[in-house]
């Protein structure tokens, strides 16, 4: 074989042996030092990436899995190279001739394996990068096509390359066993020229794809409205990918001359080193942009070593001594207000506009050249409707006032969003014309623009058996799983906002659930139990930044068979700020625009024309004009003498000095099918300012401005276009005195009524009203008619029904300084509810005749009445799944009790459903009866019915030990009124039985009573042992039925795992 090799290289017969010192020379240690160092660094970066994505962010995507594969292949290649050095690589070629000729075949066999495995490794790195860039190009179709094409070409190229390398000889063994080749055997192999040219072609192709993937994001970065220094600094990170291209360029001549290099195992072996360099640098460059959260924590900890003060947070005016704050009135009415993990490199345009005198942006003139961090709050001196939708990325908030903190941060603004940018929290924003996920590449800011700040020393370990520390001192993301619900709808991280834009896809039958998040994001479900994100990382399907919506995207409604039969979105497009019912309304600030679904609803493409409803009604001084809800109603068709099937829209708002209103619009030409023209019909419903349905508290106040109004028609079974008319709506109101841009209380209400023509105008008149949810954090309900033909209904056998989702804000509309960065998410949607008309047979007495959340439907001659009310219950599918998939079922015997007692068994987790019934032998004002939940040595939550005020009360006063150490954890009691009527029973009457269902899902607690009352809230129980359940009976007696607890619930997001 040795003679054959020398002949193959044109050396003829064996020459005389070289000097012994030449034969002993070994370059392997130097090669291993270079290769091992780079390999170790690359492996470290992959491990750090895994930690960030899987542990810190809980968003391990396909790009991460492919990078893990690349790391495994890199490890194999390094192992093969180590084996090569043990078999002569690093020594001169003559070593094989005169010292160890038996190793030559081993060398070529190892090289054969190495050649095709390294090709797969290269491709894995590139495909991982391509999938990462797909996140950034989420709304850029031409870039997505380039990336998908690149992935496909890479796969095809790799298959061809690997096969050509594996099959370079027939038989395959001849690739390393030269005795099978001529003149000793009849094996057929590529000639050295073909092998070399094929290798060079492969290298050139790899260089081209490296260059493409390294430079493709640069146009996105270059469009940022920021200074040149920042853009260049970001390109430095991308330049690491270009360095990999440089190694490929250097490697090509080595590969071309490989067969001409006589010292193939010595000097020529550096070719393998450059292959390893190219591969490992590629891995490092691909992993760097994902390590920002880890770097943020590191820099925060370093800062903490030199300072004992806390860095100015989103609400930096609280609990700080050095951070100077001053109020700042926002000219941006945003559904966005986020914490940032670092100073935003993206947006300084708004500050520039301020200097230029633009009406947009924050009116915060710098007074000393210090950069500002914007902390937007809702409900107090810095807030308005819909809360900051924080995510560790983005969010949505309608903001009217902000707090500017002169601290170690900088004001970062865009034409449509403003985000705070302190070190310890949430990603900053970019111009909406860029995909926000571009932020994942802003490590340049970490390396070049980190602003020094003050931070507390971070605690990284958590002991749930000991008293909690101040949670804001914990490391970011450390509380991610502590209170996170597993069976509710919320994004993978960041803040959840209003539910909206739900629809059933007419092609697939899948139900789409939407919510505000960086614009609007969503998921699909076939069973209302498990959900699949529409886009990776819960990225939005629509965001602000168009001609019609330069500032923000608010709630909207989807027409399922819209333009060309495609789901079409009518949404509120926002151009100017501020907007709140306490201040003058800016004309043109809220308009209604259209967008059409593409990619199965993964994107909604805005139509390239102006708003279809460009302004509020003429000469009406509105308080708001937003959240359109589109519906069809034969009842409205008949009254207005419109064509059957006409689409209508109610838009929520109010009139200054008069009160809240729902404005009705009708599609002008429904035959055109383009939804371009809408006719104003009138104020379909209007109430006097700050009045209420009843002062007894059965329904909240109508307030000054309506939001998120939904129109629905129901019967006893569910949705029925000919049924009784209902509206669900949010009401904004205030105690006296009203303070501009500060006063902001909310109620989530339902109302039923009738409509009629009054002086030629259609008017709605309430007949009963109540609270859709009595929880003070529950708001912004949005629903949709889900027909029996949908996938979910077909599986469960459900009839046509109306499903609604509510939002449970996690920081009380942005007014609480909750440790968001440590949790890395806030807020959630509540479980879907089925709405219908409910009927109750009761005794005819004063209790039934009162004006409340019911109406008299039928009077009977036997002294009884049938009352009608809104029937609401948890959707049948998730409730059935919770029970059928329970990992543990606890049954506690009931019986008559006059005092409380703990259950015999306790759940092992904080995820369960409890179902029980309670009978009261007499209507005694002092009686309280219910349950303790999440109870332990130091904490307990009490949920009970109290006759004295006919209320369900959630006593949270001792529910969270963390509230004593951490500002922003609200433990005020919650309550809501529900009447237990006298019901006929034989020859006498009894008090109506209280049927209660309690859902505990992490920190979310939902209380449902008698299918007509709900109260949802947060319970921030800290201790591990706070899992006990017990009976509550005080001031009398109560008879409990057997109590059943189904533990475990269901993972609503299996694909996220």
The whole-number pLDDT of residue 767 equals 98
Question: For strand 494-495 and strand 825-826, is the pairing parallel, antiparallel, or unpaired?
Answer: parallel
The whole-number pLDDT of residue 705 equals 97
The whole-number pLDDT of residue 615 equals 96
Question: For strand 855-859 and strand 833-843, is the pairing parallel, antiparallel, or unpaired?
Answer: unpaired
Main-chain phi, psi angles of 714, to 5 degrees: -130, 155
The whole-number pLDDT of residue 126 equals 86
Which residues does residue 871 pair with via DSSP β-bridges, in sequence order? 836
Range ranked top by mean pLDDT from 320-334, 446-460, 530-544: 530-544
Q: d(Cα 929, Cα 994) in Å, to the nearest integer?
A: 10
Q: Which residue has the tokens 């009573």?
A: 1009
Please indicate whether residue 939 or residue 395 has the higher confidence score (pLDDT): 939
Q: d(Cα 321, Cα 734) in Å, to the nearest integer?
A: 32
Residue 528 DSSP label: S
Q: d(Cα 879, Cα 913) in Å, to the nearest integer?
A: 8
CA 949, 952, 953, 954: dihedral to nearest 10 degrees? -170
Query: Lowest mean pLDDT: which of 605-609, 741-745, 920-924, 1013-1017?
Result: 741-745
Please state, as a whole number, how many other Cβ atoms lie within 10 Å of the Cβ of residue 763.
17
Residue 53 DSSP label: I
Among residues 554, 561, 555, 558, which one has the least CA distance to residue 512? 558
Please indicate whether residue 175 or residue 667 has the higher confidence score (pLDDT): 667
Q: d(Cα 195, Cα 871) in Å, to the nearest integer?
A: 76
- pLDDT digits 0-9 by tens, 201-249: 777 777 777 777 777 777 755 554 445 555 565 566 655 666 666 665 6
The whole-number pLDDT of residue 990 equals 94
Please indicate whether residue 13 or residue 627 has the higher confidence score (pLDDT): 627
CA 557 to centroid of chain Cα atoms: 20
Mean pLDDT of 167-171: 88
DSSP 619-638: T--EEEEEEEEEEE-HHHHH
CA 160 to centroid of chain Cα atoms: 40
Residue 348 DSSP label: B
Q: Does the structure show a pLDDT above 70 at 163? A: yes
The whole-number pLDDT of residue 61 equals 82
- pLDDT digits 0-9 by tens, 397-434: 333 333 333 233 322 333 333 333 332 333 333 333 33
Whether pTM > 0.75 for this model: the answer is: no
Rg (CA), the chain: 34
- pLDDT digits 0-9 by tens, 494-529: 999 999 999 999 999 999 999 999 999 999 999 999
The whole-number pLDDT of residue 460 equals 56
Q: d(Cα 695, Cα 913) in Å, to the nearest integer?
A: 34
Q: Which residue has the tokens 């939902």?
A: 1006
CA 574 to centroid of chain Cα atoms: 22
CA 160, 161, 163, 168: dihedral to nearest 10 degrees? 130
DSSP 845-866: SHHHHSSBSBEEEEE-TTSEEE
Q: Which residue has the tokens 């066999």?
A: 109
Query: Lowest mean pLDDT: which of 157-166, 214-223, 268-277, 916-925?
Result: 214-223
CA 947 to centroid of chain Cα atoms: 41
Among residues 277, 507, 535, 561, which one has the least CA distance to residue 393? 535
Residue 931 has, within 13 A of its CA and on its CB side, a CA count of: 30
Mean pLDDT of 834-844: 98
- CATH topology for 836-874+885-1056? Jelly Rolls (2.60.120)
Among residues 654, 750, 661, which one has the least CA distance to residue 710? 750
**Per the structure block, which two tokens stand in for 179?**
């005795």
Give burial (CB, 10 Å; 0-12/13-18/19+) of 1006.
buried
Asked if 318 contacts 309 with a C-beta cutoff of 8 angstroms, the reply is no
Asked if 314 contacts 472 with a C-beta cutoff of 8 angstroms, the reply is no
Buried/exposed 335-345: b ≥16 CB within 10 Å, e otherwise: bbbbbbbbbbb
Q: d(Cα 950, Cα 698) in Å, to the nearest integer?
A: 10
Among residues 290, 295, 291, 300, which one has the least CA distance to residue 472? 300
Where along the chain do its domains lie?
Answer: 2-15+34-290, 836-874+885-1056
Among residues 754, 773, 774, which one has the least CA distance to residue 762? 754
Helix axes 228-256, 192-215, angle to 10 degrees: 180
The whole-number pLDDT of residue 228 equals 59
Mean pLDDT of 114-119: 87
Q: How much of the chain is in helix, strand and coil states, percent to nearest 5?
A: 30, 30, 40
Main-chain phi, psi angles of 575, to 5 degrees: -120, -25
Please state, as a whole number, how many other Cβ atoms lie within 10 Å of the Cβ of residue 398.
31
Question: For strand 988-991 and strand 982-985, is the pairing parallel, antiparallel, or unpaired?
Answer: antiparallel
Query: Lowest mean pLDDT: which of 135-139, 299-303, 915-919?
Result: 299-303
Query: Lowest mean pLDDT: which of 231-240, 456-465, 573-582, 803-812?
Result: 231-240
The whole-number pLDDT of residue 259 equals 55
Q: d(Cα 906, Cα 1047) in Å, to the nearest integer?
A: 10
Please state, as a whole number, how many other Cβ atoms lie within 10 Å of the Cβ of residue 148.
14
Q: Does the structure show a pLDDT above 80 at 450? A: no
The whole-number pLDDT of residue 923 equals 85
- pLDDT digits 0-9 by tens, 306-318: 433 322 232 222 2
Q: d(Cα 650, Cα 402) in Å, to the nearest integer?
A: 31
Range ranked top by mean pLDDT from 187-191, 212-216, 837-841: 837-841
Q: d(Cα 1046, Cα 915) in Å, to the nearest integer?
A: 9
Average pLDDT, the chain: 80
Q: d(Cα 55, Cα 59) in Å, to the nearest integer?
A: 8
Query: Lowest mean pLDDT: which of 728-742, 861-875, 973-987?
Result: 728-742
- pLDDT digits 0-9 by tens, 464-495: 999 999 999 999 999 999 999 999 999 999 99
Q: d(Cα 760, Cα 139) in Å, to the nearest integer?
A: 46
List, in order, residues 6 or more apart from 356 with CB less than 8 Å away.
none
Q: d(Cα 1033, Cα 994) in Å, to the nearest integer?
A: 14
pLDDT band at 449 (very low <50, low <70, confident <90, very high): very low
Which residues does residue 778 pair with via DSSP β-bridges, in sequence order? 808
DSSP 374-433: EEE-SSSTT--TT-----SS------SEEEEEESS---EE-SS-EE---TTS-PPP--TT
Buried/exposed 848-867: b ≥16 CB within 10 Å, e otherwise: beeebbbbeeeeeeeebbeb
Please indicate whether residue 195 or residue 985 has the higher confidence score (pLDDT): 985
pLDDT band at 342 (very low <50, low <70, confident <90, very high): very low
């Amino acid at each position: 074989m040795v003679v054959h090799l020398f002949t193959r290289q044109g050396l003829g017969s064996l020459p005389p042996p070289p000097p012994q010192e030449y034969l002993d020379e070994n370059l392997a240690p130097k090669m291993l030092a270079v290769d091992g160092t780079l390999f170790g660094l690359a492996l470290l970066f992959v491990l750090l990436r895994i930690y960030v994505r899987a542990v810190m962010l809980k968003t391990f995507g396909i790009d991460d899995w492919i990078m893990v594969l690349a790391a495994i292949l890199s490890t194999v290649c390094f192992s093969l190279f180590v084996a090569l050095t043990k078999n002569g690589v690093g020594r001169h070629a003559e070593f094989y001739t005169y010292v160890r000729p038996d190793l030559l075949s081993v060398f070529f066999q190892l090289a054969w394996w190495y050649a095709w495995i390294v090709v797969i490794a290269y491709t894995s790195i590139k495909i991982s990068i391509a999938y990462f860039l797909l996140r950034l190009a989420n709304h850029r179709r031409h870039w997505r096509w380039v990336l998908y094409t690149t992935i496909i070409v890479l796969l095809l190229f790799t298959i061809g390359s690997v096969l050509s390398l594996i099959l370079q000889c027939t038989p395959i063994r001849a690739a390393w066993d030269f005795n099978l080749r001529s003149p000793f055997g009849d094996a057929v192999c590529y000639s050295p020229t073909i092998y070399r040219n094929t290798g060079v072609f492969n290298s050139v192709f790899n260089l081209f794809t490296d260059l493409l993937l390294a430079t493709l994001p640069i146009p996105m970065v270059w469009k940022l409205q920021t200074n040149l220094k920042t853009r260049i600094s970001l390109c430095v990170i991308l330049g690491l990918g270009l360095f990999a291209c440089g190694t490929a360029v250097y490697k090509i001549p080595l590969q071309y001359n490989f067969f001409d290099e006589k010292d193939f195992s010595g000097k020529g072996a550096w070719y393998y080193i450059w292959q390893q360099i190219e591969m490992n640098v590629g891995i490092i460059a691909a992993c760097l942009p994902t390590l920002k959260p880890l770097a943020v924590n590191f820099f925060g900890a370093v800062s903490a070593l030199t300072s004992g003060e806390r860095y100015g947070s989103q609400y930096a005016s609280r609990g700080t001594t050095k951070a100077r704050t001053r109020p700042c009135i926002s000219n941006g009415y945003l559904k966005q207000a986020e914490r940032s993990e670092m100073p935003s490199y993206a947006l300084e345009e708004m500050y520039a506009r301020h200097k230029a005198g633009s009406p947009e942006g924050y009116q915060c003139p710098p007074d000393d050249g210090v950069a500002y961090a914007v902390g937007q709050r809702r409900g107090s001196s810095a807030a308005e409707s819909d809360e900051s939708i924080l995510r560790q990325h983005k969010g949505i908030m309608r903001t009217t006032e902000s707090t500017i903190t002169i601290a170690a941060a900088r004001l970062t603004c865009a034409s449509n969003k403003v985000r705070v940018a302190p070190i310890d929290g949430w990603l900053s924003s970019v111009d909406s014309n860029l995909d926000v996920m571009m932020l994942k590449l802003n490590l340049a800011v970490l390396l070049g623009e980190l602003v020094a700040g003050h931070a507390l020393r971070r605690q990284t370990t958590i002991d749930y058996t000991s008293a909690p520390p101040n949670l804001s001192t914990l490391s970011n993301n450390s509380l991610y799983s502590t209170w996170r619900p597993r069976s509710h709808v919320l994004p993978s991280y960041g803040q959840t906002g209003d539910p909206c834009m739900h629809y059933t896809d007419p092609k697939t039958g899948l139900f789409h659930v939407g919510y505000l998040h960086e614009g609007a994001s969503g998921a699909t479900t076939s069973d209302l139990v498990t959900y699949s994100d529409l886009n990776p990382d819960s990225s939005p399907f629509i965001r602000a930044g168009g001609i019609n919506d330069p500032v923000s995207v608010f709630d909207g409604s989807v027409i399922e068979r819209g333009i060309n039969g495609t789901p079409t979105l009518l949404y509120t497009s926002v151009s100017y700020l501020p907007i709140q019912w306490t201040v003058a309304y800016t004309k043109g600030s809220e308009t209604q625009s259209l967008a059409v679904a593409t990619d199965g609803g993964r994107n909604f493409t805005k139509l390239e024309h102006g708003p279809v409803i460009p302004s509020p009604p003429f000469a009406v001084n509105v308080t708001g004009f937003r959240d359109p809800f589109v519906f069809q109603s034969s009842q409205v068709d008949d009254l207005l003498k419109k064509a059957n099937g006409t689409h209508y829209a109610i838009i929520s708002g109010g009139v200054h000095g008069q009160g809240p209103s729902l404005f009705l619009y009708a599609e002008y030409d429904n035959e055109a099918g383009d939804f371009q023209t809408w006719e104003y019909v009138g104020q379909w419903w209007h109430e006097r300012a700050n009045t209420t349905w009843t002062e007894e508290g059965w329904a909240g106040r109508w307030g000054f401005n309506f939001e998120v109004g939904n129109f629905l028609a129901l019967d006893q079974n569910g949705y029925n276009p000919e049924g009784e008319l209902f509206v669900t709506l949010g009401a904004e109101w205030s105690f006296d005195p009203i303070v501009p841009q500060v006063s902001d209380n909310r109620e989530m209400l339902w109302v039923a009524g009738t409509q009629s023509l009054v002086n030629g105008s259609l008017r709605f008149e309430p007949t009963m009203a109540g609270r859709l949810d009595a929880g003070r954090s529950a708001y912004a309900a949005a629903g949709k008619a889900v027909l029996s033909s949908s996938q979910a209904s077909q599986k469960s056998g459900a009839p046509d029904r109306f499903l609604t989702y509510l939002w449970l804000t996690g920081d009380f509309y942005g007014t609480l300084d909750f440790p968001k960065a440590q949790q890395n998410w806030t807020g959630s949607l509540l479980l879907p509810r089925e709405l219908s008309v409910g009927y109750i047979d009761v005794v005819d007495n004063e209790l039934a005749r009162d004006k409340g959340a019911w109406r008299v439907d039928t009077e009977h001659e036997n002294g009884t009445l049938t009352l009608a009310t809104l029937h609401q219950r948890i959707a049948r599918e998730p409730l059935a799944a919770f029970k059928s998939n329970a990992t543990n079922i606890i049954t506690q015997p009931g019986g008559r009790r006059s005092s409380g007692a703990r259950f015999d068994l306790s759940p092992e987790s904080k995820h369960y459903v409890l179902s029980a019934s309670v009978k009261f032998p007499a209507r005694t004002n002092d009686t309280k009866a219910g349950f303790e939940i999440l109870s332990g040595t130091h904490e307990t939550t009490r949920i009970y019915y109290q006759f004295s005020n006919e209320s369900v009360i959630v006593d949270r006063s001792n529910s969270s030990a963390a509230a004593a150490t951490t500002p922003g954890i609200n433990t005020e009691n919650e309550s809501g009124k529900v009447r237990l009527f006298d019901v006929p029973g034989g020859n006498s009457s009894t008090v109506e039985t209280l049927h209660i269902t309690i859902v505990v899902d992490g920190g979310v607690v939902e209380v449902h009573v008698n299918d007509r009352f709900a109260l949802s809230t947060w319970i921030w129980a800290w201790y591990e042992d706070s899992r006990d359940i017990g009976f509550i009976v005080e001031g009398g007696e109560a008879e409990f039925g057997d109590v059943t607890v189904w533990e475990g619930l269901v993972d609503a997001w299996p694909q996220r795992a």
